[in-house]
Structure 1
Amino acid sequence: MFCSEIIETKTTGMNKKSIFYSLLAALLLCCCKPTTRHGESQSKAESTDSVTTGTASKQTANTAAQIYAKQQIPVLCYHRIEDGKKGDYTVSKATFTSHMKVLADSGYHSVLPGQLYDYLVYNKSLPAKPVLITFDDSRAEHAAVAAPVMEKYGFRGVFFIMTITYDKKNYMTKEQIAGLAKAGHTVGLHSWDHTMVTKYKEAADWQKEVAEPKKKLETITGKPVEYWAYPNGVFNHAGAQELSKYFKLSFSLSTKRDSVVPLQTVRRIIVPECSPQSLLKSMRKNF
């Protein structure tokens, strides 16, 4: 309705005083009505919306105590995947394949460290029966054997790299590492030469084992390297605190977590040569 139409309607059967106030109200209504959201008016409105949305989307991070209290999820750690070898750190190719199959058949869903971080820190939901599948030591078969088997079942994993091993016999090439990142897997750091964190005494040690390798690995993958696996699974409180300056999450082995820095002491279990059902039993027992 135009302003003139409003005025005409209001004047019928009214005295002059009523007409005056009606006219004043109508003029105020027309003149003060917001303009369409274009140009400057639109920018201001969008700015307001942006501020409101930003405020609403801000999340409060959990405290260390809250993170420590959250339910842990199964985190598996593989090393060698090789036929004809024996040892606690070696599984055959057939065994690894059977492990991935039983996880898929049992309804497990692989998650990546970023999802675990959001779950621990911001209470984001995880898929039903989550499992994190990790690999240490940069072995060539991780790219040649493990990744294709996992991808067959719709899984993605985390590959922790010792950067001293680049392009060496039995270890991944830089191209394979980059390929894993491109395929949707996560690439993390496992130190430069597998020296334990408990032996880092000087600033130079941290540069050599953490800062410089992290930067080089990021150059190879083209992505931030935000996750760490402790050499030999060993950590101390001081080391865990220092690693929080570099990584969102750090992964140990079966050692008890540090309640002050739980994000830097996420537990894993080493997967040995075992039957698929033994793997499931171990997961239920340990997590």
Structure 2
Amino acid sequence: MKKYFAGLFLGLIILQGCQSKAEETSKDENPEKVTLVNKVENKTEPQKVTNDAAAILAKKEVPILCYHQIKDFNASAGAMTKVYTVKPVDFVAQMKALSEAGYNSILPEQLYEYLVHNAPLPAKPIMITFDDTRAEQYSIGAAEMKKYGFKGVFFVMTVSINRPGYMSKEEIKSLADEGHVVAAHTWDHHMVTKYSGEDWNTQLVKPKAKLEEIIGKPLTDFAYPFGLWNTAAIPELKKSGYKMAYILSTKRDSIDPLYTIRRMIVSGTWTTERMMKSTESTFE
């Protein structure tokens, strides 16, 4: 009997000890676990602002330059050639002037985030764009921008790829690999305002797919030939997977401003000083 009570007493002591240890463990560990769980459950991520059309239109515009040809021409050249062609020596001077003035190049995704979600931009942002796939945009344009750490946007019309005087697939891929943005400029530069039926597939869908195949990256931006657009084009652009589209320096659409982003053609008749002043005044 004595042995029985002794064993019972010992068992009670052990049980009490185990319970005490469990309580200590509960006191020591569970509050931390509960606190950790509460922290996770109560953690709140700041909600991203999404601007509507009115808010986008109210934001200060970013200057966007539009270049076409970079080559020499003489005094007898036609008026359109003089407007759409910048001499190499002038392009060199313009890139240098932009750098010395403190401009920082940005790319479409940065512009999109700024317009739609109020993301910050670098001081004195500017976008440098090129239309029509000309070979000198690669050999002169990209090479000159590299000196100042500038990145550009190259709007390619796919019918011209690998043709004499135009960029090759390899050059287009190289631009994308070096951090520039390759974007679409239709198949053969026909005016968007004249599209119907299969034109949308030929001019929007197929060029996008071809360029994505070349660069191995998604393509989200489009430039209207001649800067001409209409409201019928916007739903087609959205359906084709484009996030933004670019016009020239005319009025933006009040409903879909992301599909009427303004650019300024840099005229070959301008001095560097005139180009700099126009950059500031056009996008006030």
TM-score for the superposition, normalised by structure 1 = 0.83
Name the residue aligned to 2:64: 75
Secondary structure of 2:83's counterpart equals coil
Name the residue aligned to 1:227: 221
Aligned counterpart for 2:113 among listed residues 111, 114, 118: 118
CA shift for structure 1 position 255: 1.7
Q: 1:64-143 counterparts in 2 under 5 A? A: 64-84=53-73, 86=77, 87-143=82-138
**Whole-Å separation in 1 of the counterparts to 2:30 and 2:144:** 60
Name the residue aligned to 2:275: 279
Name the residue aligned to 1:239: 233
Offset from partner CA, 1:113-161 (integer Å, 9 cap, x none)? 1110110011001111111000000000011110000011110100000
Closer, same or farther in 2 for the Cα pair 1:52/1:110, shift >3 Å? farther
Q: 1:184-263 counterparts in 2 under 5 A? A: 184-202=179-197, 204-245=198-239, 246-263=241-258
- Name the aligned partner's letter for residue 103 of structure 2: Y
Structure 1 contact 82–92 (Cα < 8 Å) conserved: yes
Aligned counterpart for 1:56 among listed residues 41, 45, 69: 45
Structure 1 contact 150–156 (Cα < 8 Å) conserved: yes
- Name the aligned partner's letter for residue 284 of structure 1: E
Percent identical residues: 45
**Whole-Å separation in 2 of the counterparts to 1:65 and 1:272:** 31
Offset from partner CA, 1:222-271 (integer Å, 9 cap, x none)? 11111100011000112123213321111100120001000000000100
CA shift for structure 1 position 27: 5.5
Structure 2 contact 51–115 (Cα < 8 Å) conserved: yes
Closer, same or farther in 2 for the Cα pair 1:56/1:242, shift >3 Å? same
- Name the aligned partner's letter for residue 281 of structure 2: K
CA shift for structure 1 position 30: 2.7
Offset from partner CA, 1:208-234 (integer Å, 9 cap, x none)? 111111011001001111110001100
**Whole-Å separation in 2 of the counterparts to 1:29 and 1:107:** 64
- Name the aligned partner's letter for residue 151 of structure 1: K
- Name the aligned partner's letter for residue 61 of structure 1: T
The alignment yields a C-alpha RMSD, in angstroms, of 2.6
CA shift for structure 1 position 284: 1.5
Secondary structure of 1:253's counterpart equals coil
**Whole-Å separation in 2 of the counterparts to 1:64 and 1:26:** 64
- Name the aligned partner's letter for residue 56 of structure 1: E
Secondary structure of 1:244's counterpart equals helix
Structure 2 contact 247–261 (Cα < 8 Å) conserved: yes
**Whole-Å separation in 1 of the counterparts to 2:190 and 2:27:** 71
Structure 2 contact 184–208 (Cα < 8 Å) conserved: yes
Matched, 1:176 2:165: no
**Whole-Å separation in 1 of the counterparts to 2:192 and 2:137:** 24
- Name the aligned partner's letter for residue 216 of structure 1: K
For structure 2, which runs of at least 5 residues remain unmatched after alignment? 1-18
Which of 1 and 2 has higher RCO (CA within 8 Å, sep 6+)? 2
**Whole-Å separation in 2 of the counterparts to 1:211 and 1:238:** 15
Structure 1 runs of 4+ with >3 Å offset: 24-29, 32-37
Name the residue aligned to 2:139: 144
**Whole-Å separation in 2 of the counterparts to 1:211 and 1:29:** 67
For structure 1, which runs of at least 5 residues remain unmatched after alignment? 1-23
Aligned length: 257
Offset from partner CA, 1:180-208 (integer Å, 9 cap, x none)? 00011000000001111111211x21111
Closer, same or farther in 2 for the Cα pair 1:118/1:34, shift >3 Å? same
- Name the aligned partner's letter for residue 277 of structure 2: K
